[in-house]
């Protein structure tokens, strides 16, 4: 038998030479994908976005559109009422401040200045009288000092603790006792016949002229600024409220026109009621504020402006009288050089004060709008003219060495310049009382025109919004 050859296949995994690389199952070059887990939650949309979507969806149906219209109408009417109440409350408060706070404080500040200047004048007049100082002169000085102190207390009580006015008031309260002490020393030495009394009086006058009166004038200016600020808050038209009122009426008119086009119904009672209330509020707002504005403007033009000019005139007359007296007290000890000329300092200031007085009286005559206001101002002008004549005559006597005659012509009982000064002061007091009455009448009318407007606007706005909602609700009921 022939041999049987048994061929053994290799057991190694290495292929035999020449047989090539074994073919393996197909594999991807990239790693296998991970098995997906549960889906991550999407971020929740904002409430605003969801609300917009809902509104958009609602707007596709007539009931949805009606609900949107009703909400917008109610919002407009309520906003109109709220803004009206807010703006008119602010203006009513400012108008009340004009009448009861800022203008009285402005007058108090002017009275502080006047009282201090008049006290200084009375002190110099009493000094000139020497040991024969009259009880009238002394009482006038004491009364003015008390008035200034009382007005300072009142001003301090009505000013903000950290305000510039409060600091000025504190400064005046500090200076007032110092001034009184100097005047008392001057009087004491004067009664004893010591010449140093005149030096003390001049020192007291310097404290008054250089420190106290400028501080009082600064207080007067600050209170006038406060008064003007209150006017500025009370008189502007409430344009925001007026604009909202017009917008609300336009929206209500459009809603009723739309309702008529879709239903052929002429009136919707709820929308008509809302329109009526909005129209009443808008009319009340415009007319009421216009009347208030006219009254407040009149109180400023024919009250405050006249009062300011008259206060300035009174202050100028007081300063002139004080300088006239000090001319005799100093007896040429104080001089002032202007250009190449040398003048008596107090007489030079007297002439400047009289010039200012004439200018203020001329302005007061122009501002006077009736006979009662013009008559005392005209009389004061006549008194001022006579005062100038008598002062010139007294200065001639003094310059010629007739001091006692000059003194009699200034502080004497008859035909003295003091009579003219007293007449000017009395006529200005009368004019101030008249203008004060006119101011209170006009400012009171302006403030009263705003009475009830804020509360009335709020109540009517709520009723108007309710009417708009009910009117739209009536239409919605037709779809149920």
pLDDT of residue 9: 43
The pairs formed by 362-369 with CB atoms below 8 angstroms and a separation of 24 or more are 363/309, 364/306, 364/309, 364/310, 364/313, 364/431, 367/302, 367/305, 367/306, 367/309, 368/306, 368/431, 369/302
Q: At what angle do helices 269-299 and 453-476 cross, to 10 degrees?
A: 160
Q: Which two tokens stand for residue 447?
A: 């403030």
- pLDDT per residue rounded down to tens, the chain (480 residues): 344 444 444 444 444 444 444 444 444 455 555 555 555 666 666 767 766 777 676 666 777 788 888 889 999 999 999 999 999 999 999 999 999 888 888 888 999 998 998 898 888 777 776 655 677 778 888 999 999 999 999 888 888 788 888 889 999 999 999 999 988 888 788 777 777 777 888 888 889 888 998 999 899 888 889 999 999 999 999 999 999 999 999 999 999 888 888 876 667 888 999 999 999 999 999 999 999 999 999 999 888 999 999 999 998 998 898 888 888 877 766 777 777 777 778 888 899 999 999 999 999 999 998 899 899 999 999 999 999 999 999 999 988 889 889 888 988 878 899 899 999 999 999 999 999 999 999 999 999 999 999 999 999 999 999 988 888 887 777 776
Picking from 209, 189, 211, the residue whose alpha carbon sits closest to that of residue 199 is 189
pLDDT of residue 19: 44
- How far is the C-alpha of 259 from the C-alpha of 265, rounded, in Å? 7
Q: In angstroms, what CA-CA distances link 460 with 81, 244, 453, 455?
A: 7, 15, 10, 9
Q: At what angle do helices 305-330 and 403-411 cross, to 10 degrees?
A: 160
The two beta strands, 335-338 and 341-344, are antiparallel
Q: What is the pLDDT of residues 328-354, one digit of tens each?
A: 877 766 777 777 777 778 888 899 999
CB hemisphere CA count around 465 (13 angstroms): 16
Q: What is the pLDDT of residues 389-427, one digit of tens each?
A: 999 999 999 888 898 898 889 888 788 998 999 999 999
Handedness of CA 323, 329, 331, 337 (dihedral sign): negative
pLDDT of residue 132: 57
pTM of the prediction?
Answer: 0.75
- How far is the C-alpha of 201 from the C-alpha of 126, rounded, in Å? 11
Q: Which two tokens stand for residue 308?
A: 């300011």
């Amino acid at each position: 038998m022939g041999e049987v050859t048994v061929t053994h296949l290799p057991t190694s995994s290495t292929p035999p030479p020449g047989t090539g690389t074994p073919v393996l199952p197909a594999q991807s070059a990239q790693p296998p994908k991970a098995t997906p887990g549960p889906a991550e939650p999407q971020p929740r949309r904002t409430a605003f976005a969801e609300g917009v979507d809902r509104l958009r969806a609602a707007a596709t149906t007539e009931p949805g559109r009606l609900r949107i219209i009703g909400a917008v109408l109610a919002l407009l009417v309520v906003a109109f009422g709220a803004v009206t109440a807010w703006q008119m409350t602010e203006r009513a408060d400012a108008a009340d401040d004009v009448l009861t706070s800022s203008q009285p404080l402005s007058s108090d500040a002017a009275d502080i200045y006047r009282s201090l200047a008049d006290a200084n004048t009375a002190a110099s007049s009493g000094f000139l009288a020497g040991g024969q100082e009259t009880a009238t002169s002394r009482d006038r000085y004491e009364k003015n000092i008390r008035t200034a102190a009382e007005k300072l207390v009142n001003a301090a009580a009505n000013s903000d603790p950290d305000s510039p006015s409060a600091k000025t008031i504190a400064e005046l309260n500090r200076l007032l006792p110092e001034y009184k002490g100097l005047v008392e020393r001057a009087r004491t030495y004067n009664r004893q016949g010591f010449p140093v009394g005149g030096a003390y009086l001049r020192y007291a006058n310097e404290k008054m002229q250089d420190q106290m009166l400028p501080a009082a004038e600064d207080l007067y200016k600050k209170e006038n600024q406060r008064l003007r600020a209150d006017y500025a808050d009370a008189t502007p038209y409430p344009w925001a409220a007026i604009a909202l009122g017009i917008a609300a009426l336009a929206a209500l008119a459009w809603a009723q026109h739309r309702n008529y086009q879709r239903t052929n119904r002429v009136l919707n009672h709820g929308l008509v009621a809302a329109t009526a209330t909005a129209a009443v509020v808008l009319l009340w707002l415009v007319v009421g504020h216009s009347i208030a504005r006219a009254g407040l403007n009149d109180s400023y033009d024919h009250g405050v402006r006249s009062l300011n000019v008259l206060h300035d005139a009174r202050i100028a007359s007081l300063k002139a009288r004080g300088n006239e007296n000090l001319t005799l007290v100093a007896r040429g000890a104080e001089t002032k050089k202007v250009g190449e000329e040398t003048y008596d300092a107090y007489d030079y200031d007297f002439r400047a004060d009289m010039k200012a007085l004439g200018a203020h009286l001329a302005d007061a005559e122009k501002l006077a709008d009736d006979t009662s206001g013009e008559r005392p101002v005209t009389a004061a002008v006549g008194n001022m003219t006579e005062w100038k004549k008598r002062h010139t005559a007294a200065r001639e006597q003094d310059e010629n060495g007739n001091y006692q005659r000059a003194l009699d012509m200034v502080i004497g009982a008859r035909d003295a310049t003091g009579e003219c000064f007293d007449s000017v002061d009395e006529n200005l007091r009368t004019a101030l009382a008249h203008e004060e009455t006119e101011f209170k009448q006009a400012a009171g009318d302006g403030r009263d025109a705003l009475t009830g407007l804020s509360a009335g606007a709020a109540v009517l706005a709520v009723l108007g919004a309710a009417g708009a909602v009910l009117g739209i609700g009536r239409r919605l009921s037709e779809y149920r």
